[in-house]
Amino acid sequence: ADLGVRNITYEGEESEFAIDKSSLAIIRDPNKCIRCRRCETMCNDVQTVGVYSAVGRGFETVVKTAFDLPLHDTSCTFCGQCVAVCPTGALMELDQVDKVWKALNDPTRYVVVETAPAVRVALGEGFGLEPGTIVTGKMVAALRRLGFDRVFDTEFGADVTIMEEATELIHRIEHGGRLPILTSCCPAWVKFFEHQFPDLLDIPSTCKSPHQMLGVLSKSYYAETYGIDPQKITVVSIMPCIAKKYEAARPELGQDPVTPDVDIVITTRELSRMLREAGIHFDHLKEEDFDHPLGESTGAAVVFGTTGGVIEAALRTAYEWLTGKPLENVEFEPLRGMDGIKEAVIPIGKRDFRIAVTHGLGNARTILEKIQSGESHYDAIEIMACPGGCIGGGGQPYHHGNLEI
Ligand code: SF4
């Protein structure tokens, strides 16, 4: 990959399948498939989406989508968990590094970058640091070396999401809106929901995800305050996530059809590659701070990277607005008989407020089916598609039994 040979296909008798470039997030090259079926296990057993299946083809087995449909036409959520486990590159994220280089090398563009909380704890792995090492300051310094005009923090957008979700939650409580409210900051989860539970479409929060919030603020508030033509701004998001590529391209998530909130999304892995291409000695860099004002955050948003963080932050805000007091620790208890689902009960005034947290789309399906059947009653639920939340996102450094990028 470092030599730029990612797009060269294997030659020989296996080079008989067309490469599927239909989706806005994942590239599928069946010629590289070795039938290990890890993608099928992740998609069917863990995520319960069921895009891939192994089928007999003469004397051999091939892994394909139902009816061999292009990925774009399936119910794939683009969570990228299949990409994270594929050992051969038969499944890859849509590489957008070239687009970022092009924007950075165009003197007419004002290029803004924002980074998600889960990136700063994983990026160091690409440079030999222990998994979990926090490299925020070095990451900011490296992004400036790459040539970005401003380095912003998606945590600012997450703070805005928290306030918006808390406002929406209070509005539904006070004005009789439909509960539970479901968090909407995970695009894979949103797509899963749209395909699988169309009868519940009025319950997710209407808030944009944090990086989209920051994207639109960069092209509106920031552009206006600093006298920059928003049409000249390119917003690049660095995410642990493959589905955010698809999310940024959704036509309804922009100010108009030609002005998306976010122009380009690259993953933690793609950023590692860019830094290597630029010959930046990451470990030698001195730490630097984000740019102001869109690089500031309260700290509440830092928990967005892990499961439970979004709903806890929104609830803390709603609690304080409703009672005038800060909320003590929120104790989540595992829900009996439902693996991977936790709940907490928080008294607000005379009412007990029930919230649930889960991750992985299989768990999400379980909890939504219980809501549909009337067995479960919650006021708010956080759902993140990837196992463990964004920290385990499909765009994070590969872990194929060892550490590599
Ligand atoms: Fe993306 Fe996070 Fe959702 Fe995974 S859990 S699809 S990384 S937003």
Same domain for 251 and 332, yes or no, is no
Q: What pTM value is reported for the model?
A: 0.91
Q: Give alpha helix (H) positions in 86-206.
A: 97-104, 136-146, 154-175, 187-196
Catalytic residue list contains 99: no
Instruction: Please give the ipTM for the structure prediction.
Output: 0.91
Same domain for 85 and 120, yes or no, is no
What tokens appear for 272 in the block? 């590692």
Same domain for 277 and 349, yes or no, is no
For residues 394 and 268, is the Cβ–Cβ distance under 8 A? Answer: no
The CB of 392 under 6 Å from ligand 1? The reply is: no
Catalytic residue list contains 247: yes
315: containing domain: 174-207+301-391
Catalytic residue among 205, 209, 272, 376: 205
DSSP 283: G
Residue 226, number of CB atoms within 10 A of its CB = 10
What is the number of domains present in the chain? 3
Q: Report the CATH number at residue 72.
A: 3.30.70.20
Same domain for 329 and 188, yes or no, is yes
Catalytic residue list contains 244: yes
Same domain for 251 and 313, yes or no, is no
Same domain for 197 and 336, yes or no, is yes
Q: Which residues pair with 359 in a beta bridge?
A: 384
For residues 373 and 349, is the Cβ–Cβ distance under 8 A? Answer: no
Kindly report, residue by residue over 90-149, the tens digit of the pLDDT. Answer: 999 999 999 999 999 999 999 999 999 999 999 999 898 998 899 999 999 999 999 999
Helix, coil or strand: residue 376: coil
Same domain for 146 and 263, yes or no, is yes
Task: Give the Å distance between the CA of 175 and the centre of ligand 1.
Answer: 31
Catalytic residue among 219, 244, 245, 342: 244
**Percent of residues, the chain, with pLDDT higher than 70:** 89
Same domain for 329 and 365, yes or no, is yes
Phi, psi values for residue 42, rounded to 5°: -60, -45
What tokens appear for 45 in the block? 């057993």
Is the residue at 399 inside a domain? no
Same domain for 216 and 328, yes or no, is no
Burial (CB count within 10 angstroms: exposed 0-12, middle 13-18, buried 19+), residue 176: exposed
Kindly report, residue by residue over 222-245, the tens digit of the pLDDT. Answer: 999 999 999 999 999 999 999 999
Task: Give the Å distance between the CA of 97 and the centre of ligand 1.
Answer: 20
Q: Report the CATH number at residue 198.
A: 3.40.950.10
Torsion of Cα atoms, 193 then 199 then 202 then 207, to 10° = 10
Distance CA 151, CA 397 (A): 22
The CB of 49 under 6 Å from ligand 1? The reply is: no
Distance CA 228, CA 226 (A): 6
Same domain for 182 and 314, yes or no, is yes
Is the residue at 262 inside a domain? yes
Q: Give alpha helix (H) positions in 14-153.
A: 38-40, 81-85, 97-104, 136-146
Distance CA 76, CA 192 (A): 8
Mean pLDDT computed over every residue of the chain: 88
